[in-house]
Amino acid sequence: MTSLTLVRHGQTDWNLQRRIQGQTDIPLNDTGRRQARQAGDLLAERRWDAIAASPLSRAYETASIISARLGLLDPHPLPGLVERHHGAMEGMTSEERREAFAAGAEVPGLETDAMIIDRVLPDLSAFAARHEGESVLVVTHGGVIGSLVKHLSGGELPAAGQLIANGSFHDFSLVDGALEIVAFNGTAVDEDLVPQDA
């Protein structure tokens, strides 16, 4: 068995402005760096063997801050763990998105949950397999974590009104090649807040 903990990157200015980031490479802001340090302090209560990250700078810098606090080697980049591609919505605020795309309207270039799972699971499973019997961290994005949790829970999680907060972490295990949820730490939020995959 391999224990995996997925961490959502710290805050960016676009998170603060409620803009949809997707695969646009927006860096952490000072709050995001503080959240990464806080996550590192909490994660230091457990033993870790390795760390990987989405190569987008907000995730990779979060992982670098955490790895320094934990005394780990530099994060291993996992290209399959980048955020959902939001196509024509990237850069829009939640309000702009609602004005441009009515509920249920097709968004050009928007990546589906199935497409995310198809690229996330192979990278995640391969990284976990290289660390059989160990405990590893993976820093990624809210949309990736949300899609994975939804897939593994049969759609029961995240519950309506739950947010995958910046700097939050969620436990999984890989047993005989099958990924399982151990602990999901969604936070209850107001429904009008930024989507988890922004």
Reported as a single tens digit per residue, the pLDDT across 16-42 is 999 999 999 999 999 999 999 999 999
Catalytic residue among 45, 61, 76, 83: 83
Nearest to 163 by CA among 138, 183, 143, 137: 143
Contacts for 96 with CB less than 8 Å, ≥ 6 apart? none
Mean pLDDT of the chain: 93
d(CA 106, CA 160): 22
141 is catalytic: no
Helix extents (H) in the chain: 13-16, 30-43, 57-70, 94-100, 113-129, 142-152
Tens of pLDDT along 36-89?
999 999 999 999 999 999 999 999 999 999 999 999 999 999 999 999 999 999
d(CA 189, CA 162) in angstroms, rounded, equals 6
Distance CA 128, CA 134 (A): 8
Q: Which pLDDT score is estimated for 147? A: 96
This prediction has a pTM of: 0.93
Q: Tens digit of pLDDT for each residue in 151-187? A: 999 999 998 778 899 999 999 999 988 999 999 988 7
Q: 138 and 6 in contact (C-beta within 8 Å)?
A: yes
What is d(CA 81, CA 100) in angstroms, rounded to the nearest whole number? 28
Task: Tell me what pLDDT residue 109 has.
Answer: 96
* Geometric angle at alpha carbon 168, from 166 and 173, rounded to 5°: 135
Bridge partners of 7?
Answer: 139, 169
- Using only the alpha carbons of the chain, give its radius of gyration: 16
Is 9 one of the catalytic residues? yes
The pLDDT of residue 188 is: 63
Q: Which of 9, 86, 151, 170 is catalytic?
A: 9
Rounded-to-integer distance, Cα 8 and Cα 42, Å: 14
